[in-house]
C-alpha cells in the first residue's frame, strides 16, 4: 500500500505541475486515458499532458488534492478535489472568474511503476452549478 500511496502522491504532483519529465516517469507510452465527452481515449504521456492543458486553459490555477486512495493489486481508486478559478471558456461557458472546488473519482491500472489506464469522472453537475451555468 505504501508503494501505491507514494505513486498516487507523485501522480497528483504531476497533475499539479504538469512536468513532462514526470509524465515520462509515471505514464507508460501505451497508456490509455478514457476522458468523459471524448469518443476515443488519449494515450501515453502526451495524451495526459493534453488533458491537463485542456483543464488549465479553463482553470489556469487548478490544483488537485488527494483525499482517498483504495488499492488492490495493480488497480487503484482515488477520490480527489480539484480547486481553481474559471478564467477560460469551459464547454462553451464564458469565464465568470468564479472559484470552484469539485470532487472527482478516478480508477487507474498500473504496471511496473507506471500508469497504463485511467477512467475518471468528475462532478460535472457540481462544477456547472459553481460557475453559474446550472441552477443549484
pLDDT in the model for residue 1: 60
Q: Averaged over 104-129, what is the pLDDT? A: 94
**pLDDT confidence of 78, banded at 50, 70, 90?**
very high
What phi-psi label fits residue 10: left (phi over 0), alpha (psi between -120 and 50 degrees) or beta? alpha
Tell me the average pLDDT of the chain: 93
Rounded Cα distance between 111 and 122, Å, is 24
End-to-end alpha carbon distance in the chain: 38
pLDDT at 5 over 90: no
Q: Averaged over 39-55, what is the pLDDT? A: 95
Q: Averaged over 114-123, what is the pLDDT? A: 95
Q: Which residues contact 136 (CB under 8 A, 6 or more apart)?
A: 129
Which triple of cell numbers denotes residue 71?
488499492
Which triple of cell numbers denotes residue 67?
483525499
Other CB atoms closer than 10 Å to residue 4's CB: what's the count? Answer: 19
Amino acid at each position: 500500500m505504501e508503494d501505491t500511496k507514494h505513486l498516487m502522491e507523485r501522480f497528483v504532483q504531476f497533475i499539479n505541475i504538469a512536468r513532462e519529465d514526470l509524465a515520462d516517469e509515471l505514464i507508460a507510452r501505451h497508456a490509455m486515458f478514457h476522458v468523459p465527452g471524448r469518443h476515443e481515449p488519449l494515450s501515453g504521456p502526451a495524451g495526459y499532458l493534453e488533458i491537463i492543458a485542456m483543464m488549465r486553459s479553463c482553470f489556469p490555477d487548478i490544483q488537485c488534492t488527494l483525499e482517498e486512495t483504495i488499492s488492490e493489486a495493480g488497480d487503484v481508486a482515488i477520490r480527489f478535489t480539484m480547486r481553481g478559478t474559471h478564467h477560460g471558456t469551459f464547454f462553451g461557458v464564458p469565464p465568470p472568474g468564479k472559484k470552484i472546488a469539485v470532487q472527482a473519482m478516478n480508477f487507474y491500472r498500473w504496471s511496473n511503476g507506471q500508469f497504463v489506464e485511467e477512467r475518471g469522472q468528475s462532478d460535472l453537475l457540481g462544477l456547472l452549478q459553481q460557475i453559474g451555468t446550472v441552477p443549484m
